[in-house]
A and B are shown apart, each in its own frame.
Chain A
């Protein structure tokens, strides 16, 4: 008896809390002792791109398929892209790595997807290239071994004098000594004659590498190559061991500035290409939200009516539990937060069906037990315990499917599939609580407190 009342109180508290969360955009809980905020959280519903409009781009490391992408480098690239996107003034962007060579970038509500994609694609891949004894003219597009198999397996540099001519008749591949990833800072400066240059400082590990290389390759040309285009090809006059250097070319002030910014805020450690892009206009999104909410309300109303008409008292109680379910689910979506997409809403509605199924299973059992002549309290206990294995096993199989869907969606950046799996799984988990614990608690308190509640007619017999 005490146990039942405890549950009633827990449920009542949950309902109050969920109503508060569901109907506010921001929650703040004060610590009564020292008046600081214990919880201070925005709880707006997060809508996915398909519902509010925006751009989703799937980016992939642009290296040969057989080359393994280092996960730290991918993570690094993601952060750099994030900085770049922030610099564009796009708000609420989200970037996540997906699988081992992809990044999903989401930009809600933007209206200029072309510009955003163009800004992301700027690779600003800076390479210091071994050119041997023959300098290559500025502006020439060359091939380097960076990002290919050889770069990781061979460290040998071509012997001086054997460097192929850069006229393009033969596909010469140059060795990359170091990339922009080794840069600590980069700033614009001017030389004695007033020309713009970029001075840079190397990170400590890159400093040693650079020092070693410049010592062993004196009087040879070191190509400075940006996005595979030769910027300049200075000759190594003396070893550079202090980790400081300069890039001089014929830059205008603006060019030098841009280049410095690109190098600073991030030369990408790996080149990136766009393999998938999805843009949803804001009008389509709004319409979808309106329609699916309407459909959800109509569908739920019919279910509520059906349950009450068919199962009478238990049906009504299941309806109450269903309302609790909706309140709790919305609360969870807002607190976690779960990004709601259209398939996500479909998954939620489907989980309502499964929540109802648990109740249908129990109530059918209840009717059977009552028909076989047991008294009401006994029947209720038996109905719950006998329906449990089927509820457990059937919902477990749904959860298994959800996990596999989630993994699939995660690897391919298919956020629609992922959203569906998350809401369905949450819904199934939550429905186990409401359809079993909440319904049972309510039914018992109805029987305790309402006169004639145990009349057989109430149970549809």
Chain B
């Protein structure tokens, strides 16, 4: 099996997966003017109220009217986004409201709609905290990436050009970040998913796993580079990939089994989270085999000089 030989094909496949995600990031941006992803209240601030009605179910218009009645200058609650949640419940997103207001709204719902109301979930985040969390999330990702690149550099110090391994691992990681954020952008645009704190957790896990996977492949390269000193670099890297292929597939399978079980049986609360993890981990395995290791070869051969020549000849 020769994976290295077809490296540009695999790069193209990655590109074809990433580009639609980037397009949807742009679409989201032009729609909300806020950023590439529709952000949840964890990052943007606001309130989310999920209520279940045990009697007659009011319409979404009823709820919008009720919210409008409670709207004040300090706490504008106009235009809440009301979405049905299963058969008997609603999820209502609005600007930030206090617990006190929530209490009043819930008791007004009970009296106005003549139905017992159960609060399933209420989250309220002030806009300033949301903004701060967004910035910190960016830092968290940046610091994690930096710490990992330094660690790999150190762990591969016995190999020639150790920094290349760290950089290639980060390339593969960026690939996975783009796949995950792109998927979220598409699902956000189409299904209205919002990125919340759990999405950030999933993203950071994917980063961790992506590097985990890449290191396993690189470890084989590190080991083989000592054994096969005479063999051409390209052949040696390809051999390393093939040797660790069984492991990559089997590990992928076992993680997939547990994640699939969580998607199917784990309930609504974490489904979004698990789907993102599933996509990210699949991407992580792909990128470690088809991107990270081939990048080492591209770098070794300094192939970018040939890219220019090829396009000049064409």
Contacts and interface: CB of A to CB of B under 8 A. Distances in A.
Interface stretch (A34-42, A201-209, A349-357): A349-357
B147 to A, nearest CB: 5
Interface in B201-257: 201, 204-205, 207-209, 211-213, 215-216, 219-220, 222-223, 243-244, 246-247, 250-251, 253-255, 257
Contact of B258 (A114, A279, A350): A350
A280 B120 contact: yes
B204 A278 contact: no
Contacts of A310: 250
Contact of A291 (B122, B212, B222, B266): B266
Contacts of A402: 208
A113 B101 CA distance: 11
How many chain B residues sit at the interface, stated as a range, is 35 or more
A349 B255 CA distance: 9
A362 B223 CA distance: 15
Given A394-B216, A398-B209, A360 B121 contact: no
A361 interface: yes
A100 interface: no
A50 B122 CA distance: 11
A390 B121 contact: no
A419 B246 CA distance: 33
Given A117-B100, A361-B247, A356 B265 contact: no
B115 interface: no
A416 B198 contact: yes
B204 A405 contact: yes
A453 interface: no
Give the dominant DSSP class at A's interface: helix
B201 A417 contact: yes
Nearest to B49: A279
Contacts of B152: 393, 397
Interface string B258-298: 11111011110110011001000000000000000000000
Interface stretch (A182-190, A295-303, A326-334, A441-449): A295-303
Given A390-B220, A394-B215, A408-B137, A278 B269 contact: no
Contacts of A420: 201, 205
A68 interface: no
A405 B140 contact: yes
A283 B269 contact: no
Interface string B186-209: 000000000001101100110111
Contacts of B52: 283
A306 B253 contact: yes
A250 interface: no
Interface string A256-275: 00000000000000000011
A292 B42 CA distance: 23
B136 A299 contact: no
Contact of A302 (B197, B208, B261): B261
Contact of B207 (A279, A354, A401): A401
Interface in A383-415: 386, 389-390, 393-398, 400-402, 404-405, 407-408, 411-412, 414
A150 interface: no
Contacts, number: 216
Interface in A341-375: 342-343, 346-347, 349-350, 352-354, 356-357, 360-361, 364, 368
A277 interface: yes
Contacts of B209: 350, 398
B201 A393 contact: no
A114 to B, nearest CB: 4
B301 interface: no
A412 B130 CA distance: 10
A295 B265 contact: yes
Contact of B151 (A58, A118, A396): A396
A125 interface: no
A300 B258 contact: yes
B129 A404 contact: no
Contacts of A353: 251, 254-255, 258
B255 A393 contact: no
B298 to A, nearest CB: 23
A163 interface: no
B261 to A, nearest CB: 3
B215 A393 contact: yes
B174 interface: no
Contacts of A416: 197-198, 201
B108 interface: no
A390 B122 contact: no
B140 A408 contact: yes
15 contacts: A277-B123, A277-B124, A288-B267, A343-B198, A353-B258, A357-B255, A364-B247, A389-B219, A390-B220, A393-B152, A394-B219, A400-B151, A401-B205, A401-B211, A420-B205
Interface of A: 50, 58, 60, 113-114, 117-118, 274-281, 283-284, 287-288, 291-292, 294-296, 298-300, 302-303, 306-307, 310, 342-343, 346-347, 349-350, 352-354, 356-357, 360-361, 364, 368, 386, 389-390, 393-398, 400-402, 404-405, 407-408, 411-412, 414, 416-417, 420, 424
Give 6 closest A-B pairs by Cβ, nearest first.
A299-B261, A401-B208, A299-B258, A390-B219, A114-B103, A291-B267
